[in-house]
Structure 1
């Protein structure tokens, strides 16, 4: 599918937002941005255990894309690509939480592992070592370790699931009682924000976005180029120039940090 010129797609957006019941224009927008769905689906899918269907993620992502198209506000001054990706990925994660993808796989592998462990324990009269369980299952150590890791996979749960009811209008959900062991110290967030403000001071819009997207959002140069409508080489060139300028500016201010 050929990517439409920016002027043409901008006109499609303008007309569609005047009449969002126009199915033909909605379909054109979906066709324009559906490569983003596949790209993000493949990135999510690559981190999942075997057995998850990539097409299921893509289907969920398309629904997220459609929601993003409906909700997008042209007046916000944000590129649609930047706006829609969190919604696409969120739709995929919601799908994973509801499709019971891990338990079916995990239960089968975990039950086989547990049966072999019990058989080996009965044979040796003590808790067996991994090597003994592997022999019982006629697996190499590498194959056994892979099976063990997959059997220990953790299923996804919805954080909106009700934990218990209260007398108030608002029920307590899983997310309300879940401890965030990796929670960041609030003072670090403030320091990070102050540092970002210091570093990006004096940069123009594109330069600020390059720094934020590269160092804070951890996007690649190619992804940043797609977001800003620039080539990957141009983003890399601008990044090098920004870094050199920042080194010079911060070098002059070194006494302030002593």
Structure 2
């Protein structure tokens, strides 16, 4: 039995290739091979050499029958639906040959003796009966064509790079003491106590400086990317307003548009957008 199976294994693959050439792409041929192998084993087990029939001929019939059974079990369309589709196809092809062009739905429906709505329902029923396998889709056309993509588009990547560059510039032109707090808190993960000792202030003052720096960073970036989000100063001619305007101008002059867009990825490991927005 084992020798018969090993010697006739090519029969299974030959029959699977022959039948799969006439099948839609979503049919998984590995399932057909498994069914064919099982049929070959059953044929070897039940084969009676005394009947004078060559084993190859006997096994091929069993294999073909098993492949058809496997296809029927995987087909969600009923026999009546398949019969209607075959009749539709015959009528459609006949009209195309007669008219010398592709017939319209109305012409096909009239030849079939049904309404256009019934013809459309037939197509909908057929399409709903097709089961697609994800592994076949990804092998044949690629997962990117059927699954939502999580990759950034070029536009999103450029905007993110420009924001990172502006954030880098905004940090580098902060007042020195605020820059020490920002880098200590967000770059070096230093405790506030240590920063307070270095700057000669209290921990609560470090917390205030941190909040002040983040507000400056947020407003500085908004001044470049979304000026409408920057609050108008109460006293436009006051010292605070002038210092802020000078800070915004320093950020704008720090780098060129080309420099910002060519910023290498990962250069600015800085406070996140959520930190700045807070």
Output the TM-score relative to the length of structure 1.
0.30
Output the TM-score relative to the length of structure 2.
0.28
Q: Which has the larger radius of gyration?
A: 2
By relative contact order (CA 8 Å, sep 6+), the higher-ranking structure is: 2
